């Protein structure tokens, strides 16, 4: 009986081998489709490259899929944040030459913040495109403001790297110009001052407390609470303590009738 030679190859199961090859061929196509619809909504000329997939990959996806070979969006978020600041600052400088530096800074802060960026992300349905971990998906991650704002910054970074500054500027200003116009008319989003003035008329004490701090040092998230007469009335989240307090005051004003005076005691949130 003839002995089998060492190292002789085993028969190949063509069916199984063919299925594996099909799987590997399909994966790049699936990845290429990520961000394609978003790019169309943003009216970008050519299909997005792999940077769009990176921009839409939340860290939770990578945590649950460590072998996926993709990068999360935090580095692009860092880049996009700087580009947003620059483009908005440039626009304000060129279009409002009569405004002093301090006012321009205040205007930019009122435009480039988590609340505005998350609202913009929802307008372009960015949440639909995100790659999230299962836990983040079931907990409402596609609608979470912090995730949407971060992803939008990352997308801006990807647009800049693939399409250039001119296209990044076009997209940013198309989506944020209405916010800039509102701010230029005097609505700076200084909700703490607005709430304080209203509280003074009601002879009510207003105070703020930082309720939580989350995230690494380079990307902190603060949760602030606003208290009226010692009672918690609203919460807000921001990248700085001041922004979180502004968002908390905004919540009170918007949910409890911030735009109109409380002429009747029974309508006042301070009662």
Residues identified as active-site:
81, 153
- Token pair 């939580």: residue: 212
Cβ neighbours for 30, distance < 8 A, ≥ 6 positions apart: none
What is the distance between the alpha carbons of residues 38 and 36, in angstroms, rounded to a whole number? Answer: 5
- Token pair 């004490």: residue: 205
Compute the half-sphere exposure of residue 125: CA atoms within 13 Å on the CB side of its CA: 10
Determine contact, residues 130/141, Cβ cutoff 8 Å.
yes
Residues across the chain? 271
Count of C-beta atoms within a 10 Å radius of residue 187: 12
């Amino acid at each position: 009986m003839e002995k089998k030679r060492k190292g002789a190859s085993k028969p190949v199961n063509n069916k199984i081998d063919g299925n594996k090859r099909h799987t590997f061929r399909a994966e790049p196509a699936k990845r290429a489709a990520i961000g394609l619809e978003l790019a169309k909504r943003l009216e970008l000329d050519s299909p997005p490259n792999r940077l769009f997939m990176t921009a839409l990959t939340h860290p939770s996806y990578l945590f649950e899929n460590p072998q996926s070979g993709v990068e999360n969006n935090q580095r692009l978020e860092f880049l996009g944040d700087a580009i947003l600041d620059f483009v908005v600052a440039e626009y304000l400088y060129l279009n409002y030459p009569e405004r002093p530096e301090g006012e321009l800074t205040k205007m930019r802060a009122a435009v480039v913040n988590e609340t505005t960026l998350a609202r913009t992300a929802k307008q372009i349905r960015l949440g639909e495109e995100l790659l999230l971990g299962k836990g983040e998906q079931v907990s409402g991650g596609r609608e979470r403001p912090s995730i949407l704002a971060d992803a939008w910054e990352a997308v801006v970074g990807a647009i800049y790297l693939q399409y250039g500054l001119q296209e990044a500027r076009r997209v940013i200003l198309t989506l944020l110009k209405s916010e800039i116009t509102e701010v230029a008319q005097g609505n700076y989003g200084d909700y703490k001052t607005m709430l304080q003035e209203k509280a003074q008329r009601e002879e009510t004490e207003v105070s703020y407390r930082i309720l939580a701090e989350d995230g690494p040092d380079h990307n902190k998230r603060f949760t602030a609470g606003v208290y009226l007469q010692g009672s918690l009335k609203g919460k807000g989240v921001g990248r700085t303590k001041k922004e979180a307090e502004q968002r908390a005051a905004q919540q009170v004003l918007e949910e409890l009738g911030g735009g109109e005076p409380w002429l009747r005691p029974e309508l006042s949130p301070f009662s």
